[in-house]
């Protein structure tokens, strides 16, 4: 045992430090990539533990990476330079629930869905809902500013975080935001959310809870042409209707999903839209009728409405297990995360089809159509290096097209090491320089989550894509 490890054991206890190679193997990857094992994994239970670990790392000039559940899809939780990985699996307490003020105070290791389950009986829920919500942690969601199917109506994680407790690289503890909106001063909470662990390590989160809507309707619109489905998305928006969720799957993807989950998707269709409407009962009925009319105007061959909560949950189970369904039919796949204007969905899907043909790849499409957040699924065999390289080139072309259309290289998965070299596609040199200056104020030595978020000069082709399991 190294003296390095002995000091960590002194700080947090023997059962909270992992150093054997067979243990470290479990932490060398996340949902995207596998690069290098950490030198040690530490599992704190308190903020004081985290402070002690961070101060030790600063003295030793050792990198520190924070990790939630490891479901991230941009390489944000891996340790490309080794060092200490702080795992938050033991900091998973719901510290306070204040329904009167519609808020909760939690530790970062709380699993996303568990918070909603804790308040469900009282008629509340936590709105951000990544597809991995049964496993992902809210601390990880804060780092990546995660979204989900209901982003269209409710926004992403930053819209639901009221305050944070953060440990800085020197070991200082700061508190940002408040238990209510409108605190004056710089929005440090907004700065930390989405900073991917490069500015500080979040050890406590105050989030907003929401009341459950009075009524919910889930519709499934079935199409014989993908083009008609994409046109419907723009048409719904043009009518001034904002569903709670508006998801799309193409025929290839929905067949894989149906074979895996038996959710009720018609396997002979070219595409489906999964649409959810929430609110007051009268409004939900009226909007559902309007949406069905729009779907039929754009040549939907059928529009189904879930007749029970069980049927609704089954449709959503199919959508949220889609990436796992693809894993049944492909040895590996690379899930992309880009954003484009909704009105350009037809053009983008045609472009993706061209990329698939160019690189001789099978690409399935599933995405948050309502906010233009695409998730192309590039299928390949990771054991074939030539396929691996074709996938990386294809993915870069898709991301470059998103940027060209005025979109973004990520909507909810983050940048991490996956896309940090693509940041110049959407930011000018001055933009990136300003970001580096902000980072240097918080993290001058660059030891917190190094080689992430901002360009480092390394080629994205160095990334080893693994089997992904979704968001």
464 pLDDT higher than 90:
no
Comparing 35-39, 203-207, 374-378, 428-432, the range with the smallest average pLDDT is 35-39
pLDDT in tens, 99-118: 999 999 999 999 999 999 99
- 124-133, 178-187, 281-290, 321-330 — which is least confidently predicted? 178-187
Tell me what percent of the residues of the chain surpass a pLDDT of 70: 96
Region 371-379: mean pLDDT is 96
Which CATH number describes the domain made up of 215-325?
3.30.70.2190
Band of pLDDT at residue 2, cut at 50, 70 and 90: confident
Tell me how far apart the alpha carbons of residues 312 and 245 are, in angstroms, rounded to a whole number.
Answer: 13
- Strand, coil or helix: 181: coil
pLDDT exceeds 70 at position 463: no
Across the chain, mean pLDDT equals: 94
Q: What's the first-to-final CA gap in the chain, in angstroms? A: 38
Q: Collect all residues with Cβ–Cβ distance below 8 Å to 54 and sequence separation of at least 6.
A: 64, 167, 168, 169, 170, 171, 201
**pLDDT of 35 over the 80 cut:** no
Residue 421 is given by DSSP the state G
pLDDT band for position 32 (cuts 50, 70, 90): confident
Mean pLDDT of 395-415: 97
Q: Are 337 and 410 in contact (CB under 8 A)?
A: yes
The CATH number fitting domain 3-87, selected from 3.30.43.10, 1.20.120.1200, 3.40.50.300, 3.40.30.10: 3.30.43.10
Res. 183: pLDDT tops 90: no
Assigned token pair, 104: 């909760």
Please compute the mean of the pLDDT values over residues 37-46 and round it to a whole number: 97
HSE at residue 262, side-chain half, CA atoms within 13 A, is 1
Asked if pLDDT for residue 458 goes beyond 80, the answer is no
Given this model, what pLDDT does residue 424 score?
Answer: 97
Tell me: pLDDT of 444 over 50.
yes
The answer, yes or no, to whether residue 461 has pLDDT greater than 50, is no
CA distance 287 to 359: 42
Residues 6+ apart with CB under 8 A from 462: none
pLDDT in tens, 133-146: 999 999 999 999 99
Coil, helix or strand at residue 171: coil
pLDDT of 370 over the 80 cut:
yes
Q: What is the pLDDT confidence band of residue 388, given thresholds at 50, 70 and 90?
A: very high
CATH number of the 94-211 domain: 3.30.465.10
Average pLDDT over every residue of 376-385: 94
Distance CA 356, CA 359 (A): 5
Cα–Cα distance measured from residue 360 to residue 399, given in angstroms and rounded to the nearest whole number: 18
Q: Are residues 148 and 127 in contact, defined by beta-carbon separation less than 8 angstroms?
A: no
Q: Can you tell me the mean pLDDT for 402-416?
A: 96
Residue position matching structure tokens 């998707």: 265
**Structural domain boundaries of the chain?**
3-87, 94-211, 215-325
Question: Is residue 8 very low, low, confident or very high in pLDDT (cuts 50, 70, 90)?
Answer: very high
The 8 Å CB, 24+ separation contacts for 232-240 are: 232/273, 232/294, 232/295, 232/298, 232/300, 233/273, 233/342, 233/345, 233/369, 233/370, 234/342, 234/343, 234/345, 235/294, 235/297, 235/298, 236/275, 236/291, 236/294, 236/370, 237/342, 237/370, 239/290, 239/294
The pLDDT of residue 144 is 97
Lowest-pLDDT range, 131-145, 175-189, 206-220, 290-304?
A: 175-189
User: Cα–Cα distance between 445 and 430 in angstroms, integer?
Assistant: 21
What single string gives the DSSP state of each residue in 37-77?
--SEEE--SSHHHHHHHHHHHHHHT--EEEESSS--SSSTT
* Amino acid 459: pLDDT: 46
pLDDT in tens, 62-90: 999 999 999 999 999 999 999 999 999 99
Q: Determine what percent of the chain falls in helix, strand and coil, rounding each to the nearest 5.
A: 40, 20, 40
**Which DSSP string do the residues of 124-138 spell out, in sequence order?**
EE-----TTTTT-BH
Residue 394 pLDDT greater than 50, yes or no: yes
* pLDDT given at position 269: 98
Mean pLDDT, residues 375-401? 96
**What are the residues facing 368 on neighbouring strands?**
373
Q: Please, what sign has the CA dihedral across residues 326, 330, 332, 336?
A: negative
- Tell me the average pLDDT across 49-57: 98
HSE-up of residue 209 (Cα within 13 Å, Cβ side): 26
- Residue 469 confidence (pLDDT): 38
């Amino acid at each position: 045992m190294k003296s390095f490890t002995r000091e960590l054991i002194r700080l947090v206890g023997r059962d909270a430090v992992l150093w054997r190679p067979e243990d470290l193997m479990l932490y060398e990857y996340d949902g995207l990539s596998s690069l290098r094992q950490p030198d040690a994994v530490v599992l704190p239970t308190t903020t004081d533990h985290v402070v002690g670990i961070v101060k030790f790392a600063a003295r030793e000039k050792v990198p520190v990476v924070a990790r939630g559940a490891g479901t991230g899809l941009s390489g944000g939780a891996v340790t490309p330079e080794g060092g200490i990985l702080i795992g938050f699996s033991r900091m998973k307490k719901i510290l306070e629930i204040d329904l009167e003020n519609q808020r909760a105070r939690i530790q970062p290791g709380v699993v996303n869905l568990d918070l909603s389950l804790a308040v469900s009986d009282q008629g509340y829920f936590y709105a951000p809902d990544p597809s991995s919500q049964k496993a992902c942690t809210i601390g990880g969601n804060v780092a990546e500013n995660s979204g989900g199917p209901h982003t269209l109506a409710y926004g992403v994680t930053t819209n639901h975080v009221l305050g944070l407790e953060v440990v800085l690289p020197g070991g200082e503890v700061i508190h940002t935001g408040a238990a209510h909106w409108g605190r004056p001063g710089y929005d440090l909470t907004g700065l930390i959310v989405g900073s991917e662990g490069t500015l500080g390590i979040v050890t406590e989160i105050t989030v907003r809870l929401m009341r459950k809507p009075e009524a919910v309707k889930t519709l499934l619109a079935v199409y014989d042409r993908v083009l008609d489905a994409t046109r419907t998305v723009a048409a719904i928006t043009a009518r001034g209707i904002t569903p709670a969720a508006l998801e799309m799957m193409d025929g290839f993807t929905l067949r894989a999903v149906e074979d895996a989950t038996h959710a009720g998707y018609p396997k002979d269709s070219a595409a489906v839209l999964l649409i959810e409407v929430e609110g007051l009962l009268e409004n939900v009925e009226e909007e559902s009728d309007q949406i069905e009319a729009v779907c039929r105007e754009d040549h939907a061959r059928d529009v189904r409405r879930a007749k029970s909560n069980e049927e609704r949950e089954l449709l959503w189970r199919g959508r949220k297990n889609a990436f796992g369904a693809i894993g049944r039919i492909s040895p590996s796949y690379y899930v992309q995360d880009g954003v484009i204007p909704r009105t350009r969905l037809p053009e983008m899907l045609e472009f993706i089809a061209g990329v698939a043909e160019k690189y001789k790849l099978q690409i399935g499409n599933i995405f948050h159509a309502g906010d233009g957040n695409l998730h192309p699924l590039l299928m390949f065999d990771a054991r074939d290096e030539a396929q691996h390289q074709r996938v990386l080139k294809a993915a870069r072309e898709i991301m470059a097209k998103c940027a060209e259309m005025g979109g973004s290289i990520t909507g909810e998965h983050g940048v991490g090491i996956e896309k940090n070299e693509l940041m110049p596609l959407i930011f000018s040199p001055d933009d990136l320089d300003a970001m580096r200056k902000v980072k240097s104020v918080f993290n001058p030595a660059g030891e917190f989550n190094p080689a992430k978020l901002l360009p480092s000069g390394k080629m994205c082709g160095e990334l080893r894509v693994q089997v992904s399991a979704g968001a």
